[in-house]
Amino acid sequence: MRKAAVVLLLALLAGACDSSASPPPTFTDARALADAATAATTSGGSAKFATDVAVGSVRSKGQGQARFGAGGTSQVMTTDFIGEPMELRLVAGKLYAKVPEGSRDQVGTAKPWVEVAPDGTDPFSQVLGGSLGQLAAQNDPAHTLGEVAAAGTIVSAERTDLGGVAAEHYRVDLDLAKLGADLPAGLAADEVGQLGGKFPVELWLDDTHRPLQIVLDLSPILAGGSPGSSGSPGSGAKITTRYTEWGAPVDVQAPPPDQVGTLTP
């Protein structure tokens, strides 16, 4: 009788432990994860964000606010990407940069704002258009989530917290060969064959699948070797974007037209 009672007690305790155990993370498929997070981003409407770009010993930070919708993402941010504060605005697919006052003569405009483009023929766009465009794209969760949907494989998942907020943490490997023309910042299409393999992305999602943090590890690209190689000392390259205040009011507008200068080739 005593033995039976002990067995029953252990069974009850095991059942109690099982019932209190955390459920497994929601997603085991990268496309399902990306689709859910993309939908949650759109329905979230808006958020504040902060970025940390670390390339070797060089580091730049930025912060801003974004509005998400079916028509795409618009954002306003301030970054020290070029060594001094610069404001960027991405609205209706157009990227604007506020040129520091001391640099306007060099750029060739007396007005504070210019429109830049990766394929622009003016000197400012040719030097910074691609880099600034990539920086803006990395602030948009839809950009990375699109890469996850197209080329991702979940390699680990856990329930955790991020800054005191309950989160699901996913590590996803992206297959470079499957990305096509949609490659990570700084990677040219002709380098894919040289690098091959995969590189990691980490995502933290809240309980409604909205992104809390996305970390893109581009170290293999900077190292110039195969993903997973250690590269040379100081060759690390990571882009970390943190999202907060989902649904908060944001002010995202294009600069006034009369404040935007025309850049000449």
Residue-wise DSSP of 63-103: EEEEEEETTEEEEEEEE-TTSS-EEEEEETTEEEEE--GGG
Q: What percent of the chain has pLDDT over 90?
A: 45
* Single-letter residue type at 216: L
The encoded tokens of residue 8 equal 């029953």
Q: Please give the pLDDT value at position 230.
A: 39
pLDDT exceeds cutoff 50 at 231: no
Q: How far apart are CA 80 and CA 86, in angstroms?
A: 6
Q: In the sheet that 86-91 helps form, which strands lie side by side, from edge to edge?
A: 152-162, 165-175, 198-205, 211-217, 237-244, 46-55, 58-69, 72-79, 86-91, 94-98, 113-116, 260-261
Give whichever of 4-8, 35-39, 101-105, 178-182 has the largest mean pLDDT: 35-39
Q: How far apart are CA 94 and CA 109, in angstroms?
A: 18
Of residues 40 and 191, more confidence is placed in 40
HSE-CB at 47 with a 13 A cutoff on CA atoms is: 22
How distant, in Å, are the alpha carbons of 25, 148, 193 from that of 177?
28, 13, 8
CB 116 within 8 A of CB 126: no
The encoded tokens of residue 43 equal 């329905």
Q: Please give the pLDDT value at position 38.
A: 96
**Least confidently predicted of 36-45, 98-107, 110-119:** 98-107
Q: How far apart are CA 119 and CA 108, in angstroms?
A: 18
Of residues 222 and 226, more confidence is placed in 222
Q: How far apart are CA 77 and CA 51, in angstroms?
A: 10
Q: Which pLDDT tens digit goes with each residue over 157-199?
A: 999 999 999 999 999 999 887 876 665 555 555 555 555 567 8
pTM for the full model? 0.81
pLDDT exceeds cutoff 90 at 150: yes
Q: Please give the pLDDT value at position 220.
A: 65
pLDDT exceeds cutoff 60 at 1: no
* Single-letter residue type at 48: K
**33 backbone φψ class: left, alpha, beta (φ>0; ψ -120 to 50):** alpha
Q: Please give the pLDDT value at position 7.
A: 46
257: Cβ contacts below 8 Å, ≥ 6 apart: none
pLDDT exceeds cutoff 70 at 236: yes
Q: What percent of the chain has pLDDT over 70?
A: 78
3-class DSSP state of 119:
coil
3-class DSSP state of 152:
strand
Of residues 42 and 8, more confidence is placed in 42
3-class DSSP state of 201:
strand
The alpha carbon of residue 153 and the mean position of all alpha carbons in its chain are separated, in whole angstroms, by 17
